[in-house]
Amino acid sequence: MSNDRHVPVMLQRCLDMLAPALQRPGGVSHAEGRGPVVVDCTLGLGGHSEALLKRFPEARLVALDRDKEALRLSGERLAPYGERATLVHAVYDELPEVLDRLGIDKVDGVLFDLGVSSMQLDEADRGFAYAQDAPLDMRMDQTTGISAAEVLNTYPAGELVRILRAYGEEKQAKRIVSAIVREREKEPFSNSARLVELIRDSLPQAAKRTGGNPAKRTFQALRIEVNGELSVLERAIPAAVKALAVGGRIAVLSYHSLEDRLVKQVFAAGAATTAPPGLPVVPEQYQPRLKLLTRGAELPTEEEIAENRRAAPARLRGAERIREDVQP
């Protein structure tokens, strides 16, 4: 499998956003006698990581991925950078433990690209894509956890409805789940084509005419559930902000409104004063810890979407650490 078909989303914009933190003289890591440290929390096939190492020749990279196959492939790609790149098998909410093990106290830059990697979508046997028949697996780390088939075959109907509504924003959740429960009693689900067909058959005509493949929202919901994506993200974004040195920057690419909302909330809370209303002067411990680098979420250009259709739903938010946490 080649890397050339993997086009990193909003690459130039991410690099430009992180540049002031990774090029500044005397950043936190410089003070310790080494180059700046940048963390790629979602290594995937290494497109963003390779570009970071190329653009910032002083930088040291720490890259995380829960997918062992992604680590193997990107390890080959990043091999020319030698010791500048440290690749770690970990989920991104394990960032504090990873940095601790590596003896890194603070970092200068953090990047999250929350999209499912091209490899996972393109490798038929992973079961992420609804466009081809494949085993219903969807685990980003195939060494652990339960598969999408197990979720479909064993979860109570009410729980499946909750997942489809909460994680897929699927308005027809009840209708789809009724069909799933009926069908799984005849024969357990194992492959994606049967699920796609069932979703198509159970939706009213009007619902089929809007927003692409009707199975898209259900597949998204299953993927998020199988990988615990939102609960992982809820822990990971605050942990990444905490790991930033003053002057350090974080850039996050999200691909659906649930992720984007979560990132927005963490950044907004960090950029707000926590002082009680009415204080004539705001004491240091109540001052904002973050400065927002984007007005709302930035979107990919039309040119980029034309070149790389996977960029279409992307939303980019960034923030800079402007103050240490001060205990009141």
Bridge-based pairing state of the strands 107-113 and 290-292: unpaired
255-270 pLDDT per residue, tens: 888 899 999 999 999 9
Interhelix angle for 192-202 vs 216-227, to 10°? 130
DSSP string, 16-45: HHHHHHHS-TT-HHHHTTS--EEEES--TT
Bridge-based pairing state of the strands 244-254 and 315-321: antiparallel
pLDDT at 120: 47
- The encoded tokens of residue 157 equal 């109907």
pLDDT at 39: 98
DSSP string, 210-221: SSS-TTHHHHHH
111-136 pLDDT per residue, tens: 999 876 544 444 555 455 666 778 88
pLDDT at 119: 46
Q: Which of 267, 322, 243 is nearest to 64 (CA)?
A: 243
Residues 6+ apart with CB under 8 A from 102: 62, 86
Which regions of the chain are under pLDDT 70?
Answer: 1-6, 26-33, 116-131, 206-212, 327-328
Residue 2 buriedness (CB in 10 A; 0-12 / 13-18 / 19+): exposed
**Residue 235 parent element (H or E):** helix 229-243
Contact of 321 with 244, CB cutoff 8 Å: yes
Residues 6+ apart with CB under 8 A from 146: 139, 226
